[in-house]
Amino acid sequence: MGMELNSETIGNALLVTVCEPRIDAAVAIQFKDRMREVSDGGPDRVILDMSAVSFLDSSGLGAVVAVMKFLGKERSFELAGLTPTVAKVFRLTRMDSIFTIHPDLETAIAPLANAS
């Protein structure tokens, strides 16, 4: 089972868009591996656009946490566009207190547009 991610650099940020409706136990490892590939050597700020993801289970949540850990303290990992069911998983586990979460992609990249 594949895990398609699109990535582009906007200003000093790497924008990664998840092009799959689910980050679940079937693809959690592929998600981690693909995130490692696309973020390797890129900008310090990484924004993950999850607006296409309608379902995330605890394996998917664990994979998102793993991404933040391998990016490390030197790089910033931010989330954008959480759909209601995905947002609920972050809220119930209190993981919403750990991540920077933008309501949508426009909000996440607005400061970049203003700066340029």
Binding site for another protein (CB under 8 A): 1, 22, 24-26, 54-55, 57-59, 61-63, 65-66, 68-69, 72-73, 84-85, 88-89, 91-95, 97-98
CB of 68 to another protein, least distance (A): 7
CB of 54 to another protein, least distance (A): 8
Pick 10 or 87: Cβ nearer another protein: 87
Calculate the alpha carbon distances from 76 to 3, 41, 71, 112 in Å: 22, 13, 8, 14
CB of 115 to another protein, least distance (A): 27
Residues 37 and 72 sit within 8 Å (Cβ to Cβ): no
Calculate the alpha carbon distances from 64 to 12, 98, 116 in Å: 21, 11, 29
| Dihedral class, residue 81 (left if φ above 0, else alpha if ψ from -120 to 50, else beta) | left
Pick 8 or 70: Cβ nearer another protein: 70
